[in-house]
Amino acid sequence: MPAKRQTPTIRLRRLSGELRRLRDVSSLTREDVEARTGISNVTLYRIESARVRPQRRTVMGLLDLYGVVDPQRADILALLRQADEQSWLRPYHAELPDEYTAYISFESEARGLRNYESLFIPGLLQTEEYARAVIKGMRPTASNSEVDRWVQARMERQGVINRENPLDLWAIIDEAALRRTVGGGKVMRDQLHQLVQLAELPNVTFQVVPFRAGSHPGMKGSFALMDFPDPADPALVYIESLGGDLFLEAEADVQRHAQSFDHLRAMALSPEASASLAMSVATEIN
């Protein structure tokens, strides 16, 4: 069984970006670096894309090549020491997919999250029973223990909206997510009531794109857009799909999704009207 690859963290991502920037400033290609240091092109690519945590001697060799001195050198080595810190990680999380554990890591350190979902209630706002029903439906071959791990991880994630410095969550859903009865009538009613309650938190904004809005940018699929407290950490887009999960950090990709979210926000019902619609749907469920 292949080894589980390094799960990216904010610090590992920042380290990789800084090493990539330093190489660019030095006007060196990866082939140039390989010729001068012996660090292979493939290894350098994996380091610069945050796929692996580099060894200290490798980073030292790169810093020597790029002519980096203190205090910048000390800052980069500090990033290296912190690169695999994952205080959120639980033992069973190691059995979850790489992309999901990476997402948990980024979400736990994000300042703000703009999330659009077309078919279900966003994970940070789900009840445990709704989450269980969603996961069972989406992963019909999963064992009960696997489902339990996914549910527990999802419930733990929700701590970000209630912590001392809570995540700013702006959640937009298609009306279809309100009207799809997941887990049966009681589960869905409880979910809609919790959704409205959580929407009253000062750091949570909830909107619904109504059916009458017609076609909209969210019809392309769900996505999450995260931004971080430190300006050195660029925004990040996460897209989950059957074809594989994607993390996008190119400025053009981030801007495209930010613009789509702005259009969705403009087309959606106000937060007050969205909450009213959710409560209305709850009363209609048998």
In this predicted structure, what is the pLDDT of residue 91? 52
Average pLDDT, the chain: 88
For 99-158, how does the pLDDT look when each residue is reduced to its tens digit (9 = 90+)?
A: 787 788 789 889 999 999 999 999 999 999 999 999 999 999 999 999 999 999 999 999
Percent of the chain whose predicted confidence (pLDDT) is above 70:
91
* Helix or strand holding residue 206 (H, E): strand 204-209
Mean of pLDDT values over 182-200: 97
For 59-77, how does the pLDDT look when each residue is reduced to its tens digit (9 = 90+)?
A: 899 999 999 899 888 888 8
Q: Which residue has the higher pLDDT, 91 or 130?
A: 130
Task: Kindly indicate the confidence band of residue 85, based on its pLDDT and cuts at 50, 70 and 90.
Answer: low
Q: Which residue has the tokens 């298609």?
A: 174
* Helix or strand holding residue 135 (H, E): helix 128-138
* Helix or strand holding residue 79 (H, E): helix 72-82
In this predicted structure, what is the pLDDT of residue 260? 97
Distances, alpha carbon 56 to alpha carbons 47, 59, 66, in Å: 12, 5, 15
> Domains of the chain, with CATH numbers?
10-82 (1.10.260.40), 91-284 (3.30.870)
Instruction: Give the tokens for residue 136.
Output: 């069972």
E strands within 31-167? 112-117
Rounded distance, CA 16 to CA 44, Å?
10
In this predicted structure, what is the pLDDT of residue 144? 93
Q: Which residue has the tokens 């909107």?
A: 207
pTM higher than the cut 0.95: no
